[in-house]
Structure 1
Amino acid sequence: MLATGGASIWAFLAPAGVHLPVRFLGFEAVLLQVDTLSRLMGIIFGLIAAAAVLYSYSSGASNRQTAFALGYVGTSLGAVFAGDWLTMVFFWELMAVTSTLLVWDYGGEAIRAGFRYAFYHGLGGSLLMAAVVWHYTVVDSFLFSASSGLVAGIPTALAAVGIGVNVGFVGLHAWLPDTYPRPQIAASVFLSVYTTKTGVYGLARAFPDGHIAIAYMGAAMAMIGVIYALFQHDMRRLLSYHIQSQVGYMVAGVGIGTAMATAGAFAHVFNHILYKALLFMTAGVVIARTGTERLDDLGGLAKHLPFTALAFTIAALSISGFPGFNGFVSKGLLTVAAHEEHLTVIYYLLMAAGVGTFMSFIKFGYYAFFRDLDREWDVDWSNWGQRVAMLGVSALLVLFGLFPQTLFAVLPGSTAHAHTFAPSHILEGLILAALGLVGFAVVKKPLSRIAHVPDVDAIINPVMFYGTRGLVRGLTELYAAVDRVVAGGAYAIARRLSHPYPVLNWLRVRATSVEREFRPGSLRATIAASIALMVVVLSGVLLGLLF
């Protein structure tokens, strides 16, 4: 916890510029570069990691899980502080490995989800690497300073799809709601923070001037994510779809590309990390205390878990963009940016997603905490560590909501035209909240009757959706078969070592049999075949290295 908090302080105080230039295999690389963008990411990554470690320790997470989580944090920091594409991709891939290990550590259903997660991120990382290599053939440098973003054309197309996996582009997002509800509750807090937000950072590096197609994709993510979230009864699955939706706001800001939009995108990165981590913390407390993940099995928990209910309410108002909370600030920057650029469709999609967000979290709060349920819960309060972690994050949500200038001071882009507390803006936020309340009242009964809605990937991309499921199922069965063989072999060896005489007798009989059957010609043929096979394999490896 001290190390991650120290990383946040260092990111805030570190002087801007290139700090660790090196040459690696003849290529120029920068292992550490501090600018406005990386500084902001470093501050929030370190800050939330400190709270997440405290929550993890207080939630019964194993030391091994915490080690994987800290490895995940470290590789994410490595990616955002890299000063060149080669270093960034290196840490990007390590981030995928460490996050997969974090998912797998819990076992059970998380194993299969982890395989699917690894498949998607391996594919995305490979596409990004291809984009970076293509970029190098044109620019002759991996350094960020060598060009403004990636070279237009094939490299940017490859990068958009590769990074799109990480941020959850529509059609590439199935891993997100599939994976994040599976691991231990504290692991979900870490997972909600780093992969998608590092993806937004990578998108801004690749497209520093924005791209209209990315802006529209972001708006579509915001709307589709919130629609699917509304249909969920599993708490963490609902929160996972809202990651896609909220990251959609950030992607839209990066795509719009103006100074205001960039400031809004990264203000939303900062704010989203805080309130989403807090939402996963509160959901984790409910799951740990009640033993259920389903909202329709819950109710009346506010009187049993009052502190958790208060923390949830603050986080819910923040993600929904209610005036006085941090989400209101960053969402306002993004909608103003879309309005100034006359991007009417994007503006109204973001506004509609805002109404849907209010509806989702009114639903979450109603079913989990505030509805009357003819059932008495025998649950303990959240423990002191969980309460301290949730209290600290809750305070930041209110701080940045009431005093946005504290956040504006570290943002890239410009907030010169931001009028956060203009009466018209506050009225807009209140209208969205009222529409959300009315909307939930209208759809409450129909939504309660819907048990399952097929994922959008199953409709628009069935080959990837069902193909990866089949691949993951096959890999899981292969993993289980290998595990059985290894475990069985280890048991057999241990048993034979404890009773060695039958083995020695078998070896003596076998040696006599081999001696009778020995033929020098067959031995020479076997050696020749082995050498030929080795030559073929080594030749293939050499050709691969050369070409």
Structure 2
Amino acid sequence: MVLDLVPPAVIVLTAALLVAVLPRDIGHAIGIAATLGVVAISWFVPDGAHVTVTLFGSADVGFRAVLYNVDVFSRLMGLIFGFIGGAAVLYSWASDADSTQTAFALTYVGSSLGAVYAGDWLTLIFCWELMAVTSTLLVWHYGGAAVRAGFRYAVLHGIGGSLLLAAIIWYLTDPAVVAAADGNPLVFSSHVDGAVEGGMLAADSVVPAILAAVGIGVNVGFVGLHTWLPDTYPRPHVAASVFLCVYTTKTGVYGMYRAFPDGHLWIAYMGGAMAVFGAFTALLQSDMRRLLSYHIQSQVGYMVAGVGLAGASVGYGGAKYYYDALAAAGAFGHVFNHILYKGLLFMTVGVIIYRTGHETLDEIGGLGRKMPLTAITFAVAALSISGFPGFNGFVSKGMIIGAAEKKHLDVLWYLLLLGGVGTFLSFIKLGYFAFVEGSYDGTVKDANTGQSVALVSVAGLCVLFGLFPDLLFELLPFQGEYEYHTFTIPHLAEGVGLGLIALVAFAVLKGPLHHVGKVPDVDYAYNRAFFYGGRALIVGTTEAYAAVDRLAVRFVRTCY
């Protein structure tokens, strides 16, 4: 079958070239067709399909790179990456994005697809770095404040990618890994002979595991490494933000699982910290896209927690594999669901910005009466991300929280619940001050036809997978290895209860929350530390050189 041999990344990257040179309408139509074609390929290509090439030697002794590897993990990522890519291209066209921007966006999509369909670490790191470059170009294209933000974005991702590359090199040179790999030390595809199982901890070597965790941690937004998210994503064109909110962090979660398929307790607790920190920092923002960016960190925290819990050595010892599988499936289910509702949130907020020209909650209000479709689809996305029963986030978030509870990790369980309260509270705030309270001065239209199609199609899937979770379960890994019932009384009570707590908290805190603006993050401290530290180093080095030079001149004059 020809499709077995054509990586989806190639199709999307080819489309990006065409979008750049063809008329705008035709180019965007090709972009939509290419990304939706990825959905078809991901659905129909059989598990086990792979494409390998031999690098650095002959077929007998050379390194085999797996450029294309289809398994249940990459298939799931391909399905959702393709669908949201098509919706985002349509949204870009309807939001007046130019062809160059969409071409950059599609190269970003293509490089992300290359990473998730990679079957070895060499291919993955190549696409990983290409993803960083193309996303930076997408940010820079908008100009203005996006250029400086894009530079900071590029520096952080360059550091993260370098750490991951160092981990891969260290891992490659580990004799135990090489001995176990039968000549394929960097291959993780289960469809290729000699692949190494166990990820970066396969040889019990701590250093590459730490390097990989921190390097990937930049992409997923570990606390302290996350500042590029709220710094960058509010800056470019509203359509560019839709692409950006999807691919980097979720490819990072995929990479985290490939590096640590057996999980780790430290990773699980970092996920819990991300869930709480992101949610409550978001609550203190008035810039709408900045608020949404912090909630990327928060929701990715649930995914990271799921990856961390996916190990027999993590948490409770009884029924180990059952709960390991539940956690891993929940992590990837949340990746799938998050892409839908987070893309929808950036689309709805983007429509507000597109129609009003305003970015902050202080400048708008009462838009629900003038923009009913945008308000309704926002409500769907807000209830989905908050984990309210009947919406897709309720399904996958509950799987991860349930795994933490069953593994008797009480602190992590409370962190994830607390993050849920913060999420509800943030989106009650955003929805209330954008669509309910106040009255916007001036005429404003609702979403246009193209934007409406994108909004409704994504919102429909948020509801579909929320009401019929078995449709999602059929796509997830580890089918038949865990049992999970979505609509149980305790689970329903948990989802509704978190929302009620948040409603009461909002009623009490509504006044202060309305007037709070941008709250400084940790980068406020370390940006200044780097600036003044760097300046001190440069000045100190210059002065030291000058002092040595003066001594040398004095010595020469004294002697001669």
Instruction: Show CA shifts across 1:346-375 (max 9, x none).
Output: 1011111111111100000011111133x4
The 3 A distance-change label for structure 1 pair 188 and 465 is: farther
Which amino acid counterpart does residue 287 of structure 2 have in structure 1?
Answer: D
Pairing partner for 2:530 from 447, 451, 467? 467
Which amino acid counterpart does residue 233 of structure 1 have in structure 2?
Answer: S
What is the match of residue 143 of structure 1?
Answer: 187
Conserved in 2, the CA contact under 8 Å of 1:261 and 1:413?
no
Pairing partner for 1:406 from 471, 474, 483? 471
CA distance in 1, matches of 2:482, 2:412: 22
SS at match of 2:214: helix
CA distance in 2, matches of 1:427, 1:464: 44
- Taking structure 1 as the reference length, what is the TM-score of the superposition? 0.84
Conserved in 2, the CA contact under 8 Å of 1:116 and 1:469?
no
CA distance in 2, matches of 1:382, 1:209: 45
SS at match of 1:192: helix
Gaps of 5+ in 1: 473-547
What is the match of residue 48 of structure 2?
Answer: 17
Structure 2 residue 105 is matched with structure 1 residue 39: no
Matches within 5 A, 1:46-445: 46-138=82-174, 139-140=177-178, 141-144=185-188, 145-151=195-201, 152-257=205-310, 258-373=324-439, 375-414=440-479, 416-445=482-511
Deviation at 1:205, TM superposition (A): 0.3
Instruction: Show CA shifts across 1:300-346 (max 9, x none).
Output: 10111111001100000000000000000011101110001001011
Which amino acid counterpart does residue 291 of structure 1 have in structure 2?
Answer: G
Conserved in 2, the CA contact under 8 Å of 1:301 and 1:377?
no
CA distance in 1, matches of 2:343, 2:412: 27
CA distance in 2, matches of 1:292, 1:362: 20
- Cα RMSD between the aligned structures? 1.5
- Taking structure 2 as the reference length, what is the TM-score of the superposition? 0.82
CA distance in 1, matches of 2:293, 2:223: 14
Instruction: Show CA shifts across 1:126-150 (max 9, x none).
Output: 0000000111112232111223211
CA distance in 2, matches of 1:262, 1:276: 21
Deviation at 1:467, TM superposition (A): 2.2
CA distance in 2, matches of 1:360, 1:311: 17
Which amino acid counterpart does residue 17 of structure 1 have in structure 2?
Answer: G
Conserved in 2, the CA contact under 8 Å of 1:167 and 1:247?
yes
Conserved in 2, the CA contact under 8 Å of 1:321 and 1:328?
yes
Larger-Rg structure: 1
CA distance in 1, matches of 2:221, 2:444: 36
Structure 2 residue 512 is matched with structure 1 residue 446: yes
Conserved in 2, the CA contact under 8 Å of 1:230 and 1:359?
yes
Which amino acid counterpart does residue 149 of structure 1 have in structure 2?
Answer: G
Gaps of 5+ in 2: 1-31, 58-62, 179-184, 189-194, 311-323, 536-560
Which amino acid counterpart does residue 199 of structure 2 have in structure 1?
Answer: G
Displaced runs of 4 or more, over 6 A: 468-472
CA distance in 2, matches of 1:417, 1:164: 30
Which amino acid counterpart does residue 452 of structure 2 have in structure 1?
Answer: R
The 3 A distance-change label for structure 1 pair 54 and 424 is: same
